Chain A
Amino acid sequence: MEAELVSRLANDLVWIRPELLLAGFALAATLVGAWLGDRVGGLLAGLCAVGLVIAAFFAWQMRPAEPQLVFGGALSIDGFSGYAKAVIALAAAATLLLGADHFARRNERRFEFPILIALSAVGMFVMVSANDLITLYVGLELQSLAAYVLAAFRRDDARSSEAGLKYFVLGALASGLLLYGASLIYGFTGSVRFDVIAASVADGGLGVMFGLVFLICGLAFKMSAAPFHMWTPDVYEGAPTPVTAFFAAAPKLAAVALLARVLYGPFADLEDQWRQVIMALAGISLLVGAFIALAQTNIKRLMAYSSIHNMGFALMALAAGTEKGASAALIYMTIYLPTTIGAFAGILAMRRDCKDVETIEDLSGLAQRKPWLAMLLTVIFFSVAGIPPLAGFFGKLVTFQAALDAGLWPLAVVAALATVISAAYYLNIIKVMWVNPPAPAFQSSGPTIAMTAGLATLLIFPVLVVGFGWVEQAALLAATSSFP
């Protein structure tokens, strides 16, 4: 009996290699950091990046054809989670690269940064593997707590502290909503396990419905879908820029994947009910993100509204309620991540007289001062605007396909029109860079920032475009193997 338990535990542990690796790193690094102090900050960041890449590799390896339930069904290791984890880990590694130069030149290289990123990544891993409501909550909180600290990372800066506090208070409210929903669901279905809920959800009645709506609200907050987006611009603006880049990338994918898991797993039978909620969230996010961004002058705030707008697309794909919808959301986010990381690399390169500048006007005439950077940013912003042949277009294409396939053409038309509105502000950035009279030149950005921007741009065009079929296959496989 005991031997069997041990062997099962050993087996389960093998399946969570990526999580173990990162959690182990975080614990060890805390000790080393406490002992040696900030001197090892750079070294730890490097190790953490390597660890994240290895974790991504492990996760990619573990995409079984059949979902693998471990730890008594608390976690599900399947194609979907494997895919999501791999992308999350790579995105987190990229933000470490961005942070390296940024913190080094400000002389703020703290050893906690990689640790918090690693812990947040573990939280996201748990989120996308969650197979019961408790695991879901634990994963979400682990990710969020690390994120709250990261937002307030610049301790002596009022804006950063404000961002952290705001994020924390509002995040706690969202967690409360989510917990309340989870408890309602538990009460009306009798279990926290997704598969048990799935079996009894149809007879759960109004109670389950209430629970589901609260749950969706909590998750919508985490992914900053309107009308739960209020925190996003302030936190994006206040947090140190590499941290903002992190917020804008990996956790967004994790939240989308988690939402897909919840909607398509336990609540698949309630599709007709939740679809309306998701459609409303998608439509509002698309429009709010498009319209309010028009008035922004700070580029970090603009990126916040841009991310809200983009979440609308992912939600539109999820609203389809089909495997195609889940895979479209994954593809959309996969393409969104390099784009947004590339954009933030550009923002990090905006540094003048030893100070970071962050208004759109500061980019004036960049094409004459720094033609290469301007070219990369042009590609990146045309990609977010969804102009072919850049990768962003293909992301939008698959979400449109998924939505139209499910007959959601009114939402698709709203999305199409919102795209045009959003194109106006992306174009404005490009115009500022190419047409405006040049402002004083930026200082040269560090090597890792330049490298990240270059890599992100190469991914946007041509790697992800030529390899689009491959991404699409992988995402479709992930969706079909996980949501039978």
Chain B
Amino acid sequence: MSGVPILSLMTFLPAAGALLILAARWSSSGQHAGHDTGVKWIAFIVTLATLALNLVALTQFDASQPGFQLVERVAWGAGLEYHMGVDQMAMALLLLTNFLMPLCILASWNIEKQVSAYMMLFLALHTLMQGVFGAMDIVLFYVFFEAGLIPMFILIGVWGGKNRVYAAFKFFLYTLIGSVLMLVALIFMAIMAKTTSIPELTAFAQQGGFAKDLQIWLWLAFFASFAVKMPMWPVHTWLPDAHVEAPTAGSVILAGVLLKMGGYGFLRFSLPMFPDASAFFTPLVFVMSVVAIIYASLVAFRQTDIKKLIAYSSVAHMGFVTMGIFAGTEQGVQGAIFQMLSHGIISGALFLIVGVIYDRMHTREIAAYGGLVHRMPVYAAIFLLFTMGNVGLPGTSGFVGEILTMAGTFPVNAWVTAGAATGVILSAVYALTLYRKVAFGKLENPALATITDINAREWVMFVPLVIGTLVLGFAPMIALDFTKASTQAILAGYDVFAGR
């Protein structure tokens, strides 16, 4: 392996890009024409370069070897360390993040308000999200995990829709209250184990370092944070508000990446570090997951706002993820990771799809649309593909994730699986209804008469997503084989202590 700290380079490249934009703003005061376009190009190129670095990192990465790779470790102070490294699961989520980011920048091309600040916040967020998946030190993880709140708060609060302030506060405070409890728990763990390194903590926990009673409290503290982030029913209520009010690219990042941090946290911390407590709480998580799947699907059906509908469908799809994770079987966990990747692509794409018509019509009301297929055939085709992905049609990535999590849960609890399966039907109900109302029928709203089909920029945005969802749908082995080693490593510890 070369001596280049590629993981850090890739993590902090967007932050450097943000500083570049800051410097440009400083020197030109942002006055002259073309400044904003320049800033957008800087952001786009920086995110593309990050993706390229990620691909380079992928070549140095051995998918078959369990454990963390590309490790960097520097002492920081107070027993903390700057400690980065990735396993297969983290690498997969990093790829998802870096894949979505350039598309988000493209989706933000129409932003006109305070462009420099917007792009800087986005790039800062990009660094922080990569840090979450790359951190191997528990405090460093927390720093990245929590710091993401700052850019998200401002992005929603400033560039969001009508009710944006309420949504931003709700998002911030909900997430913060979960996180501070996790902070107390993780300091407590670090003091007990005398280390803040995640692999060392995992080893300590698997040697029985945390007694069962203690595990239960620690698990609950972590759960408070990840369940909000995920979001699980009944603490999901921040999500529809935040989604609806966020700018399009913010929604994509929220659904595509930020929600995955909850699942990542469960797999990284809850399962391997508190196996007894995880086994103890599995019924609770199952119930919450099934309620989320069915309830959120029913609620989605009743929405009149497109974005809110997709937000509730996210809650339902995340229910499959938590169900698969806590099933604790290899199929379940593999399916959960796959579902996270797939949902990242599909829901990201759906938000972009809403963004396209919102840019043209400035409304997200379902009732304002109808018959789009007549004016926007290409758009309607893409929309149909991702609607099918959302429903879980075989051939799209959505199918693989759902079927695997359900197959993984079935041997553990058939009733829960049965409940989740009804959710699949319900998802078809709301997703197809939405599609029918928006795309089919007659063009009745006169404002739609001049609406144009997708332009070149939007083509560039959607083509990678279409390829992504089809490739993962037809050849899921690519992703599943990749994440296999890390899944087995995570479950190796869990199986022993969960008494299986």
Contact = CB atoms under 8 A, between A and B. Distances in A.
A413 B181 contact: yes
A394 B143 CA distance: 9
Given A401-B78, A431-B165, A431-B168, A416 B184 contact: yes
A389 B143 contact: yes
A404 B77 contact: no
Contact of B157 (A387, A393, A409, A431): A431
Nearest to B168: A431
Nearest to A432: B165
A363 to B, nearest CB: 14
A473 B188 CA distance: 21
Interface string A365-390: 00110010000001000100001110
B142 A388 contact: yes
B154 A434 contact: yes
Contacts of B188: 404, 409
A9 interface: no
Contact of B169 (A382, A416, A427): A427
B167 to A, nearest CB: 11
A472 B173 contact: no
Nearest to A412: B184
A42 to B, nearest CB: 30
A50 interface: no
B165 A470 contact: no
Interface in A381-435: 382, 387-389, 393-394, 397-398, 400-401, 404-405, 409, 412-413, 416-417, 419-420, 423-424, 427, 430-431, 434-435
A472 B81 CA distance: 13
A378 B158 CA distance: 13
Contacts of A473: 77
Contacts, number: 95
Query: What is the interface of chain A mostly: helix, strand, loop, or mixed?
Result: helix
B114 A367 contact: yes
A220 to B, nearest CB: 25
A401 B157 contact: no
A423 B76 contact: no
A378 B181 CA distance: 24
A469 interface: yes
B180 A435 contact: no
B153 A427 contact: yes
A400 B184 contact: yes
A469 B184 contact: no
A405 to B, nearest CB: 5
B149 A387 contact: yes
A431 B153 CA distance: 9
Contacts of B165: 431, 435
Contacts of B164: 435
Contacts of A179: none
A97 to B, nearest CB: 23
A165 interface: no
Contacts of B75: 469
A146 interface: no
A468 B173 contact: no
A398 B76 CA distance: 13
Interface in A427-484: 427, 430-431, 434-435, 468-473
Contact of A469 (B78, B139, B154): B78
B381 interface: no
Contacts of A409: 184, 188
Given A367-B114, A368-B114, A427-B169, A388 B146 contact: yes
Interface string B212-234: 00000000000000000000000
Interface residues of B, number: 35
Interface residues of A, number: 36
B187 interface: yes
B143 A405 contact: no
A393 B158 contact: no
Contacts of B168: 431
Given A398-B78, A469-B75, A393 B146 contact: yes
B117 A367 contact: yes
B204 interface: no
Interface in B56-89: 75-78, 80
Interface string B160-199: 0000110011001100110011011001101100000000
B157 A434 contact: yes
A400 B80 CA distance: 14
Nearest to B146: A388
A419 B191 contact: no
Contacts of B180: 416-417, 419-420
B150 interface: yes
Contact of B183 (A378, A400, A472): A400
A420 B177 contact: yes
A378 B164 CA distance: 18
A194 B75 CA distance: 38
Contact of B191 (A368, A404, A471): A404
A416 B75 CA distance: 27
A427 B173 CA distance: 9
B147 interface: yes
Given A400-B184, A401-B78, A413-B181, A393 B143 contact: yes
11 contacts: A367-B117, A388-B146, A394-B78, A397-B139, A404-B188, A404-B191, A416-B183, A417-B177, A420-B177, A435-B165, A469-B75
- A-B pairs with the 10 shortest C-beta distances? A469-B77, A388-B143, A416-B180, A472-B78, A472-B77, A420-B177, A468-B77, A388-B147, A388-B146, A389-B147
Given A416-B183, A469-B77, A470-B77, 9 more contacts: A388-B147, A397-B183, A405-B191, A412-B184, A416-B181, A416-B184, A427-B169, A430-B153, A468-B77
Interface of A: 367-368, 371, 378, 382, 387-389, 393-394, 397-398, 400-401, 404-405, 409, 412-413, 416-417, 419-420, 423-424, 427, 430-431, 434-435, 468-473
Interface of B: 75-78, 80, 114, 117, 139, 142-144, 146-147, 149-150, 153-154, 157-158, 164-165, 168-169, 172-173, 176-177, 180-181, 183-184, 187-188, 190-191
